[in-house]
């Protein structure tokens, strides 16, 4: 039976300990960690367009079908990659800094990690935490930070979800073309919008996505900070 990251647990498994019934073949060429690492490297080199099961198998010197002994679908591989990436999100500030600074630090880190992996966002956004242990560990660290800061327990999850939604949406902005708001030939019929875009451009040279992120993050942190007991 192949390994699986699927959400539905195997109902035939009697206990947690994996029972070895008989002999095993020698050093397996493949395992989930190796697949995850190779996938991450491939994505880094070829992007998500070039990330195919065939290409992944090639980098592992293996037939494409061999992957399916360790993973049940391409989506499974994406889940593994997503969870691994989440371990790069920096939650250390929750142990070292006041709540508002910790949230900001975490949020920026989170956005930066996934702005380079926006195709994973539809996956991660609806993924049960059971299937992503490192992601769960991140939530635990953040939840602990909120609790220590005096947050009412029944608001913690909602606040984290709201922040995360803002973070995911903002990750897309980072990859948007810089002329995304150029109204072109329709400028005359959209005077208010066109003027606002022009005024924004007049401002400094700072990244537009960063400015919006800072603005929204500030509002969320201030607003949520008022909930603390």
Partner DNA sequence: CCACTAAATGAATGCCGTTCATTTAGACTA
Partner DNA sequence: TAGTCTAAATGAACGGCATTCATTTAGTGG
Minimum distance from residue 49 beta carbon to DNA (Å): 8
Q: Which is nearer to DNA, 57 or 209 (CB)?
A: 57
Q: Which is nearer to DNA, 63 or 180 (CB)?
A: 63
Interacting residues with DNA between 21 and 80 (CB under 7 A): 21-26, 28-31, 50-55, 61-66, 68-70, 72-75
Interacting residues with its own copies between 158 and 197 (CB under 8 A): 158-159, 161-170, 172-173, 175-177, 179-186, 189-193, 195-197
Q: Which is nearer to DNA, 6 or 143 (CB)?
A: 6
Interacting residues with its own copies between 35 and 94 (CB under 8 A): none
144 binds, among DNA, its own copies, none (CB under 5 to 8 A by kind): its own copies
Reduce the secondary structure of the chain to three states and give it as a string.
Answer: CCCCCCCCCCCCCCCCCCCCCCCCCCCCCCCHHHHHHHHHHHHHHHCCCCCCHHHHHHHCCCCHHHHHHCCCCHHHHHHHHHHHHHCCCCCHHHHCCCHHHHHHHHHHHHHHHHHCCHHHHHHHCCCCHHHCHHHHHHHHHHHHHHHHCCCCHHHHHHHHHHHHHHHHHHHHHHHCCCCCCCCHHHHHHCHHHHHHHHHHHHCCCCCHHHHHHHHHHHHHHHHHHCCCC
Interacting residues with its own copies between 207 and 226 (CB under 8 A): 208-209, 211-213, 215-216, 218-220, 222-224
């Amino acid at each position: 039976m192949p390994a699986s990251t699927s959400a539905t647990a195997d109902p035939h498994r009697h206990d947690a300990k994996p029972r070895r019934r008989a002999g095993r073949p020698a050093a397996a060429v493949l395992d989930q960690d190796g697949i995850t690492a190779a996938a991450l490297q491939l994505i880094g080199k070829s992007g998500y367009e070039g990330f195919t099961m065939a290409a992944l198998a090639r980098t592992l010197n293996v037939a494409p079908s061999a992957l399916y002994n360790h993973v049940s679908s391409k989506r499974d591989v994406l889940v593994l990659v997503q969870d691994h990436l989440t371990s790069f999100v920096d939650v250390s500030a929750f142990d070292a800094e006041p709540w508002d600074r910790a949230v900001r630090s975490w949020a920026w880190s989170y956005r930066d990690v996934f702005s380079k992996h926006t195709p994973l966002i539809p996956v991660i956004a609806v993924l049960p935490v059971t299937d992503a242990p490192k992601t769960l560990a991140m939530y635990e660290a953040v939840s602990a930070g909120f609790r220590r800061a005096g947050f009412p327990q029944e608001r913690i999850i909602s606040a984290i979800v709201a922040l995360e939604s803002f973070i995911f949406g903002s990750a897309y902005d980072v990859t948007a073309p810089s002329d995304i708001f150029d109204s072109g030939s329709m400028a005359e019929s959209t005077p208010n919008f066109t003027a606002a875009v022009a005024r924004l451009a007049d401002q400094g040279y700072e990244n537009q996505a960063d400015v919006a992120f800072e603005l929204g993050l500030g509002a969320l942190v201030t607003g949520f900070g008022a909930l603390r007991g």
